Structures are given as C-alpha cells and as structure tokens.
Amino acid sequence: MERIIQQTDYDALSSKICALQFNYLPPNKGTLSESIDDTLQCLYSDIKSLHFEYYKTLKEKSRNVYGKINKLMRNPFPVMNYGTYLRTLAIDVSLIKYIENFPKDQPFQIVNLGSGSDLRFIQYLKMYGGRIKRFVDLDFKDAIILKQSILKDSTNLDQSIRSFEGKYVILQGDLKDVEGTLQQLKQYLDPKLPTVFITECVLCYMTENDSKQLISTIMDTFATGFWISYDPIGGADVNDKFGTIMKRNLMDSRNLEMPTLLIYNSKLNYPQRWENEKSQIDIKDMWNFLSEAISDTEKRRLRSLQFLDEIEELKIMQSHYVILNTAWD
C-alpha cells in the first residue's frame, strides 16, 4: 500500500512541473488584492529553477520514476493545471498569512507530513530562515530515500540545504504509527513553539481513526499550532456522484482506497476530524478560492495560457477540493 500511495506523489510532481512549463506558476504580481502579494512574489522567485533542477536530477537517479512522471505529463489538461495552480497558491497563502501575524522576532516551526517531492522547505527557509527553527519533511521510507538522493546529487539543491545550517530535517515514517511519528518529531521540534503542520492530499488516504488520532495527538503535544490541510471531498448531495466515481476509478486503476472520501464529504463534514474546543476552523473549496481570492487580471492571464472550454467541469472539480486552516493555542 505504501508503494501505491507513493505513486500519487509522482502525480503531484508531474502536475507541478506541467503547471510551471505552461506558466500557470508562478502567479503574476497583483494576483491577490492583499498585503501578502509582494511576499508571494518573493516566495516564488525561483520556483521554476528549483523544480526543473529537481526534475533533471531525478532523471539521473531513477529513470523508472522519471519515465512514469514524463508519461503523466504528456496530456496537460487545462483543468489539471488550474488545480495545481490553486492548491499551490491556497496552501502558500494560508501559510504566509499565519507567519505574517507573528511578531518579527517570533521563531516558529513547519512540518510537512507526507511531503513527498515537495520543495517548499527551500522556498520558506530562504525567505524566513532567520525565524524558522526547524522545517521537517516526513514521508514513507522509499519516498524519503529518493528525495534525499536527488537533493544530495544536485549541487544547487545541496548547497541550498547546507546554507540552512541544520534547520532542514528529513525523516522516514508512517503516519499511521502515531507514537513513532511523534517520537521522531519531538527529537527535532520544540512543542512550546508555534508549529505549522501541512497535510496536502494526505489525510484522504488514511482511515478515519488513524487520521483523527494523528491530529488529536499532535494538537495535544504542541501547545500552539496551525494546521493546513488540502484534500478532495466526495460531495454530500444525493445526486453528487463525484466521490463515488473517484473512488471507483482509483480502485480500478491503482487498487488505491480513499477511506474517508465519502465520510468527510463536504465543507461541513470535513472539519470534524479537528473536533477540538481550542481550535478555530476556516474552510473553503478551490472554486471559492478562484472566484473570490484571485484578481480578475490574473484570471484573464490564466485563461490565455490554454484553451479551456469546459468551465463547468472546472467548477465541479474544484468544488470538490478544499483547504482547511485551523489554529489552536
């Protein structure tokens, strides 16, 4: 099952590279009518070079994985590029807003659970390195071994990591083993410091009990924190077949299960994993995010990149992906 779930990281990396190649990412200046726009521009200043370097080195390390990712990139559907653009931006907007609310001298920590090939750690340590005490990536053993190998064999990426002076930590672990996960995290993190936890398309592959135990244990362990979670939802309406079709397709094509897709199936139900009196929850779907947060100028730019005739398909798909933010102290 670990290997099957790891295949989803190949999907994510191929989608990220494709969105960069077609210029969906990085977003243009003025994308958001908010004070964080300049911060976003700085954060994304080298996003292309980072990912293209990682992708190039991947080819040298594992032609098998490279071939799988390259195959996935042969049909760059606009709806998929929109989805990658929105999930990337929504997570970073949430994270930056939380960070920018701190006093400038407040240290903090970031943990990317199920990080896969994600390279956010480089972007954030370059930008906030003076304030970040630790940035931890954690994933299955095989995913981490491959990522470590790529980072080490790329001169540019390795030099970036060395410049972070030990602030970046990469760990092997299985999130279903909550006790083992927490033991590892506590070796490197200070439970008294504000800590951000990111789960990007991770909780949807865990059982209801495993995901709730992980969340409650982390929230009990870390005194002050912020959780950013991005996942699909199955849809609560009796006529909504999105989740049923998605589950069937994943099972037929990959023998992959999403245990809670039809349980936490709406913006109302998804936050139930975080049932905790001390948490404050905000949730929106990606269609809301596109409609409300992205400027009209940026929407016109996106429309110019690829011909998109299925606006309704885009709306349906992005209405079934959500981002949740919850803070506790």
Which CATH number does the domain 2-328 belong to among 3.40.50.150, 3.20.20.20, 3.30.1360.120, 3.40.640.10? 3.40.50.150
pLDDT band at 278 (very low <50, low <70, confident <90, very high): low
Q: Over range 101-106, report the average pLDDT.
A: 91
pLDDT for res 35: 73
Q: Where are the alpha helices (DSSP H) in the chain?
A: 2-21, 37-43, 47-61, 63-72, 78-100, 120-128, 141-153, 155-163, 178-188, 208-221, 242-254, 286-293, 296-305, 311-318
Residue 225 assigned as binding residue: no
How many Å apart are CA 126 and CA 123, to the nearest integer? Answer: 5
Q: Break the chain into its structural domains and give their ranges.
A: 2-328
Which 8-state DSSP code applies to residue 315?
H
Q: Over range 185-189, report the average pLDDT.
A: 98
Residue 273 assigned as binding residue: no
pLDDT for res 70: 85
How many Å apart are CA 234 and CA 274, to the nearest integer? Answer: 18
Task: Give the DSSP H/E element, type plus range, for residue 279.
Answer: strand 279-285
How many Å apart are CA 34 and CA 268, to the nearest integer? Answer: 27
pLDDT at 277 over 60: no
Considering only residues 152 and 66, tell me which one the structure prediction assigns the higher pLDDT: 152
pLDDT for res 1: 59
How many Å apart are CA 272 and CA 187, to the nearest integer? Answer: 29
Identify any residues that bridge with 111 across adjacent strands, giving them in sequence order.
136, 197
229 touches 206 (CB < 8 A): no
pLDDT at 162 over 80: yes
- C-alpha angle 106-198-140 in degrees, rounded to nearest 5: 125
24 touches 76 (CB < 8 A): no
Residue 182 assigned as binding residue: no
How many Å apart are CA 203 and CA 196, to the nearest integer? Answer: 16
Residue 200 assigned as binding residue: yes
Q: Over range 101-124, report the average pLDDT.
A: 96
pLDDT for res 238: 83
Instruction: Report pTM.
Output: 0.96
How many Å apart are CA 311 and CA 317, to the nearest integer? Answer: 10
Q: Over range 194-217, report the average pLDDT.
A: 97
Q: Over range 227-255, report the average pLDDT.
A: 93
Instruction: State pLDDT tens for residues 1-59.
Output: 567 887 899 889 999 999 999 999 999 998 886 678 999 999 999 999 999 999 999 99
pLDDT for res 300: 96
Residue 234 assigned as binding residue: no
Residues 6+ apart with CB under 8 A from 55: 13, 17, 66, 69
Q: What is the DSSP string of 82-135?
A: HHHHHHHHHHHHHHHHHHHTS-TT--EEEEEET-TT--HHHHHHHHHTTTEEEE
Which 8-state DSSP code applies to residue 260?
T
